[in-house]
Chains A and B, each alone.
Chain A
Amino acid sequence: MNVFINGEPRDIPDKSSLQTLIESLGLTGKRLAVEVNEDIVPRSQHSEFRLSENDRVEIVHAIGGG
């Protein structure tokens, strides 16, 4: 199925969990925050949260800024 990760379309296996997605992106253990369709998904729920077709996933981190 297709999902959008940080604005880019990406094909992932059906019913993938957020945690699986994060692992596949090599981001496991990184300091980041995730929202799906503009709702925060807390870290504690990443393993049980199942993605759906056309979900919009945002993965953010802290960078330099004032």
Chain B
Amino acid sequence: MTDQSQIQLPEDKPLEIAGRVYKSRLLVGTGKYRDMMETGHAIEASGAEIVTVAVRRTNLGQNPDEPNLLDVISPDSFTILPNTAGCYNARDAVRTCKLARELLNGHNLVKLEVLGEEKTLYPNMTETLVAAEELIRDGFQVMVYCSDDPLLCKRLEEMGCIAIMPLGAPIGSGLGIQNRYNIRLIVENASVPVLVDAGVGTASDATIAMELGCDGVLMNTAIAQAQDPIRMARAMKLAIESGREAYLSGRMPKKAYASASSPIDGIFF
């Protein structure tokens, strides 16, 4: 057998976001875990280097010794990506980003998400555009959760968003990539990283996103709500790597009918 370590594959261009290079193309959230220990272990197993957090009111006077998420997921070890989850208009989203920047000592990378309605948590694109413009003007580096409309995605890029993050399916639904054609079109048109954000349910969904040429995938629920989140985190790491390798390999063309893998020549009957 050939020693695999001797096979030299051309190096992949690493994921670059806001001038920083990342080995992992998996970005993970920190919500919905049983406790902070499980959060920490799952993130470690995922190999993710960019980790999202939410910004919320501090509980006053209840338990001052309560562990802080940023002590478990230290900004020294991870790129912290604060989100604007829960915001339904541009104003609240901008306000949240400013608080996040203060919280993280001037770190200006944010995940902008402006939601449209509770049932689908579908992005409100009109408000997203307004917020993105204001945030970019204020010096933020905006990674934007958005609909999978190729024209709106291009518009966000032209405005100066540093990563475009269309949903694969509604947040927390685990339905997988619903419109592969659109994701493919968005990837083709983009000159900034495109990451599927939301909708992944299991490893194959993440692989599909990567096979479509996405630069990465951001997920939370698929890992946190698995029966064994730590194992699923590892599965997702492998799925992302696998999908990326398959994309770089260039898949075989699809055919309508069979094509024998063993030669016809030399058949002895």
- Bound: A63/B80 CA distance, A: 12
- The answer to whether B60 and A64 have CB atoms under 8 Å apart is no
- Which of A11-19, A23-31, A47-55 makes up part of the contact surface? A23-31
B80 — which chain A residues lie within 8 A by C-beta? Answer: 62
- The answer to whether A25 and B61 have CB atoms under 8 Å apart is yes
- The answer to whether A63 and B99 have CB atoms under 8 Å apart is no
B166 to chain A, nearest CB (A): 15
A59 — which chain B residues lie within 8 A by C-beta? Answer: 57-58, 60
- The answer to whether A60 and B30 have CB atoms under 8 Å apart is no
- The answer to whether A43 and B52 have CB atoms under 8 Å apart is no
Chain A: residues with Cβ within 8 Å of the partner, total of 26
B134 — which chain A residues lie within 8 A by C-beta? Answer: none
SS of B interface (majority) = mixed
A32 — which chain B residues lie within 8 A by C-beta? Answer: 58, 103
A6 — which chain B residues lie within 8 A by C-beta? Answer: 57-58, 60
Q: Does B53 sit within 8 A of A, measured CB to CB?
A: yes
Would you list which residues of chain B between 228 and 264 have a CB under 8 Å from chain A?
none
Q: Does A33 sit within 8 A of B, measured CB to CB?
A: yes
- Bound: A26/B54 CA distance, A: 22
B198 — which chain A residues lie within 8 A by C-beta? Answer: 66
Which of B29, B36, B55, B172 has the most chain A CB within a 10 Å cutoff?
B55
Within 8 Å by CB of B58, from A42, A43, A60, lies: A60
A63 — which chain B residues lie within 8 A by C-beta? Answer: 30, 53-56, 69
Q: How large is the interface on B (under 10, 10 to 19, 20 to 34, 35 or more residues)?
A: 35 or more
Given known A6-B60, A66-B29, contact A33–B54 (CB-CB < 8 A): no
A9 to chain B, nearest CB (A): 12
- The answer to whether B95 and A38 have CB atoms under 8 Å apart is yes
Query: Which B residue's beta carbon lies closest to that of A34?
Result: B102
Q: Does B122 sit within 8 A of A, measured CB to CB?
A: no
B63 to chain A, nearest CB (A): 10
- Bound: A55/B96 CA distance, A: 19
A61 — which chain B residues lie within 8 A by C-beta? Answer: 55-56, 58, 68-70, 103
Q: Does B17 sit within 8 A of A, measured CB to CB?
A: no
Would you list which residues of chain B between 207 and 245 have a CB under 8 Å from chain A?
218-221
- Bound: A63/B58 CA distance, A: 9
Query: Which B residue's beta carbon lies closest to that of A43?
Result: B102
Q: Does B115 sit within 8 A of A, measured CB to CB?
A: no
Q: Does A5 sit within 8 A of B, measured CB to CB?
A: yes
Chain B positions 46 through 89: 1 when the CB is less than 8 Å from some CB of chain A, otherwise 0:
00000011111110110010001111000000001011010000
Q: Which 7 A-B pairs have the closest CB atoms?
A: A65-B54, A66-B29, A66-B220, A33-B103, A33-B102, A64-B30, A26-B64
Q: Which residues of A contact B (CB under 8 A)?
A: 5-8, 25-27, 30-35, 38, 40, 42-43, 58-66
